[in-house]
Amino acid sequence: MTSTAAQLSADQPIVQLIETRSPLAQLLHALNQPLTGLQCAMEVAVATPRTAEHYAKVLREGLELTERMRALVETIRELADLDEEREKEKEKNEPPQTIELGALLRETVDDLQPVAEAKNIRVTLNCLQACSVRLNVTRRRMVSTVFRFLESALSLAAPQNGLFIEALNEATEVWVRVRWQGERPAAAFSRPELGLMVSQAVFERSGARWERERSETFETIIVRLPIIPDSRTHS
């Protein structure tokens, strides 16, 4: 075990490793539940005559299920767009882009500071080293992904707690760890959770590894980004 891995393990006992299936597989599986619920509610409603109050209740529940399905479908569409965008980038055969991750994290934390202050959450960023990485993703996409990643984590953090962000260079990778304490387990497919799913997909498509762990009420996400050698140094 590397020193970094040992440090991560020592912080909190890990009691649960969060879902390891791909984001798309999770979303397709999750879509089945509200679809089934909506179908059952409609079948019961038309089986025999009901009161107006019952029909109103079925409609309210149906709207809630439809909203859940809409959020899931929007995220599935977003993942599909990511795949299409990735294929276009492959056709262009552009080299990996160099991104200074430390600077990007600092800029994002500054942008999210008003949100953190509104929730009375202290955001701590520990990034003492330059963390330059060469990723198979455009800088524009990475900027929006890092913002969505941290914004989602901030939304899941309990008020009057902290959001801790670390970035560190190692021999073959740069890792980013984001950690927070939530009030209670978040709904599996809430808007912030869907934001994390899309962030995960972008990072994984860029060549990174995404690890999510839960210990009691603490959540930890570690993104391990490989350092891609610059081919120009070998020419």
State if pTM tops 0.85: no
Over the stretch 63-82, which tens digit does the pLDDT of each residue have? 999 999 999 999 999 998 88
Over the stretch 157-183, which tens digit does the pLDDT of each residue have? 999 899 999 998 887 888 999 999 987
**pLDDT band for position 8 (cuts 50, 70, 90):** very low
Q: Please provide the distance, in angstroms rounded to a whole number, between the alpha carbons at the two ends of the chain.
A: 34
pLDDT value at residue 71: 92
Which CATH number fits the domain that encloses residue 92? 3.30.565.10
CA quadruple 217, 218, 223, 224: dihedral sign: negative
How many domains does the structure of the chain reveal?
1
Question: Rounded distance, CA 140 to CA 143, Å?
Answer: 5
- The mean pLDDT value for 27-37 works out to 90
**pLDDT band for position 232 (cuts 50, 70, 90):** very low
Over the stretch 108-130, which tens digit does the pLDDT of each residue have? 999 999 999 999 999 999 987 76
Domain of 150?
3-234
Closest to 183 in 3D by CA, of 167, 160, 206: 160
